[in-house]
Structure formats: C-alpha cells, structure tokens
Copies of this chain bind each other. A is one copy, B any other.
C-alpha cells in the first residue's frame, strides 16, 4: 500500500478524498493535514464529519498535522484539497521537497508546465512533468484536475471533438451547493432561489476546456462561452451544452460516439475508472441531478437529450456529473492511479 496524505482534509473536498480512499486497493490515508484551527485535534474532532457515510475508522483517531513538508513526512503521494489562495505556494513547497502532489486547487492549473488531467481525455499531458521538473528544478511534481464544471463539460465534448470537430461551445450550468465548500452558500441565499454568478467560474470553464482538449503544448482553438449559476441541489452539476461542429453531427451518431468512447484509464482498468466515462440516456427527461449523479459511482458524466441545434450547425445536449467526485476528489484519485501505473509514484 502506498501512503497518502490529504492536505485540507477537514474541508468538504478533503472529506470526500478521505471517504473515497477508504478501502482503496493502492492508497491508504496515513496523514491528514489542515490549517491551524484543526491541528492538535484528532481528525474525528476537527473535521465535524458531514458526509452521509460514517467517518473511516482508521482516519478518525489520527492527529491533524500542519500543512508543511516537515509535518507531513513519509508519504508516497499527496492529495491537495487546499483552498486556491493558499495552495499556490504550499504545493510548490511540497513539490520542492520531492513530493508528487495531485491537486484539486486552481492555483497551478493554467501553468503551462503543469498537467491538468481529465484523464480519459488528456493523460498524455503527463509528459509536462518532465518540463515542470526542468523549469522548476524540483524532484516532485504538481498534477491538477480541472474545475468541477469543466470536468463535466469536457468528457462529452471529447468524442465530439475527435469525430466531428468543434468550432464553438456555449454552455449554461446549474451547479450544486457543495461546489462552494462548507459552510459555502448561505441557505438564505439559495432556498427558492437561483444565484446567477459563481466567482471566477466562467473564465475557468472557458480556458480550462481549451487546455484539456488541446495538446500538451497548445490549447484547442475552438471558442467557449459559459454562463454559470448556482441552484438548490446538494451535489451534481447539470449543464446545457450547445456545440457548433466542423462536420455535420447527427444526434444518433453523437450518442454512439459518446457511448463507445473509452480512454486509457478504462484500458488500464484503473480502480476508479468508471466503465464508461460518458453514459448516454435515451429518456427525454434525463439526466436528472438527484437521480443520475451517482452513475458510475459518481465518476461518469450522464448525457441526454442530444438533439440538433437551431442556431448552430451542430448539436445541443444535457450533461450531468458529480461535482465533488468526478469533478474533484474522484478525478484526483484517478489521476494518482494513472501516475502510479506510469511509475511517477
């Protein structure tokens, strides 16, 4: 078993890392690190565990340690659920100390020498690690996963991109409250309400999508426009996607391309890889956030209502994915699995 540390372990995404790693065949949480508010207490006390499954028995009694290479020692892999404002510097410190960090934070995602992996799509970007090590003169590495809403969007875009080409993408999101962490969104702000703004989300969706669907050295050249909204759902980001394609895209052919598509994680049978990265539903009122977010244990994106678009020469459809699993901790763990198989860990 490889020893794993979780940074920011008491926050919402940190808890999902701890939850998903329970019983993992390759990784075992041996260290939990968090900010000063939490250190000196056990994880059970400090985390105020808020998940619907019980706190893992092995982790609950662990002492929460500082977020520093000195305090977090003797681990093989580090999962970072740090807030982006502190992640930038802290993750660099760990990489400089020789650690491989798989990060959910946005701080380094757009760095040209940092892979941002949605692994079925672009695990080849892992080659950037060598460049990163040269540039930064460290022996560790930082690997990131995309923003939650980007993760959900890019999975169904990839088979379209490969088969039909993409000229432009317009997307409106209906995002769950768990995406804002805890305490996150005030209940007075979201019950019987929609908030049509999520700070920083639209630029992220636009630039990250281009980076993921591009090559390691060059972003994809199609345009993306997004409008991001928070709705009163617990988990699961639902997105209305309009795609202008280069070649004529018949909805049935798009559905078939999505259903048949698998990536390297599926071929390698990585433990967290869902059987299908994209599941296509044919019922006219699906996917629905509450009913479909756990498809593929929360690691698949579910697509429905694929239809021709009346503005674009292309298609429109609905995509749904679990924001804290596929869109955060689950994607990070899948990335770590890939790194292990590729002997970076």
Show the binding face of A for B, using Cβ within 8 Å: 12, 50-53, 168-170, 172, 174, 177-178, 182-197, 206, 223-225, 227, 229, 231-234, 238, 240, 242, 284-291, 294, 304-305, 309-312, 316, 318
> Which of B169, B192, B196, B238 lies in contact with A191, CB distance below 8 A?
B192
Residues in B with CB closer than 8 Å to A170 are 170, 242, 311
CB distance from A213 to the nearest CB of B (A): 15
Q: Are B194 and A231 in contact (CB under 8 A)?
A: yes
Q: Find chain B residues with CB under 8 A from A183 CB.
A: 183, 186, 188-189
Q: Is the CB of B242 within 8 A of A193?
A: no
A–B pairs, 12, beta carbons within 8 Å: A52-B291, A177-B187, A184-B188, A185-B187, A188-B234, A191-B192, A192-B290, A194-B231, A194-B288, A194-B289, A227-B305, A234-B290
Residues of B within 8 A of A227 (CB): 172, 240, 242, 305, 316, 318
Of B193, B287, B309, which one neighbours A289 at CB under 8 angstroms?
B193
Interchain CB contact under 8 A, A233 and B194: yes
Cβ of B229 and Cβ of A238 under 8 Å apart? yes
Query: Given the known A-B contacts A193-B288, A196-B240, A290-B193, are A311 and B225 also in contact in the complex, defined by CB atoms under 8 Å?
Result: yes
Specify which chain B residues have a CB less than 8 angstroms from the CB of A285 in the assembled complex.
195-197
The 3 A-B pairs at the shortest CB distance, nearest first, are namely: A172-B172, A183-B186, A227-B240
Measured between beta carbons, the chain B residues less than 8 angstroms from A294 are 52-53
- A174 lies within 8 A of B229 (CB): yes
Contact between A186 and B188, CB atoms less than 8 A apart: no
When distances are taken between beta carbons in the complex, the residues of chain B under 8 Å from A196 are 238, 240, 285-288, 304-305, 318
**Given A196-B286, A225-B311, A227-B172, CB of A188 within 8 Å of CB of B50:** yes
From B184, B225, B287, give the contact of A186 (CB < 8 A): B184
Inter-chain contact B191/A232, CB cutoff 8 Å = yes
A53 to B316: give the CA distance in the assembly, Å: 27
A187–B180 Cα distance when bound, in Å, is: 10
Question: Pick the contact of A172 from B168, B240, B311 — CB < 8 Å?
Answer: B240
- A182 vs B184: C-alpha distance in the bound complex, in angstroms? 12
Q: With a CB–CB cut-off of 8 A, which chain B residues contact A309? A: 225
In the bound complex, CA of A311 to CA of B227 (Å)? 12
CB nearest neighbor in B for A196: B318
> Which residues of chain B have C-beta atoms less than 8 A from A316's C-beta?
225, 227
Q: How far is the CB of A234 from chain B (nearest CB, A)?
A: 5
B232, A195: Cβ atoms under 8 Å?
Answer: no
Known contacts A168-B311, A187-B185; A192/B234 CB under 8 A? yes
Closest to A234 in B: B192
Q: Min CB distance, A181 to chain B, in Å?
A: 9
Interchain nearest-CB distance for A177 vs B (Å) = 5
Instruction: Knowing A188-B12, A196-B304, A284-B197, say if A311 contacts B223 (CB, 8 Å).
Output: yes
Query: Which B residues touch A231, using CB under 8 A?
Result: 174, 194, 231-232
CB-CB under 8 A from A232, the residues of chain B are 187, 191-192, 231-233
Partner of A188, one of B182, B238, B289: B182
In contact, A177 and B191 (Cβ under 8 angstroms): yes
Given contacts A177-B188, A188-B234, contact A193 B225 (CB under 8 A): no
Residue of B nearest to A290 (CB): B193
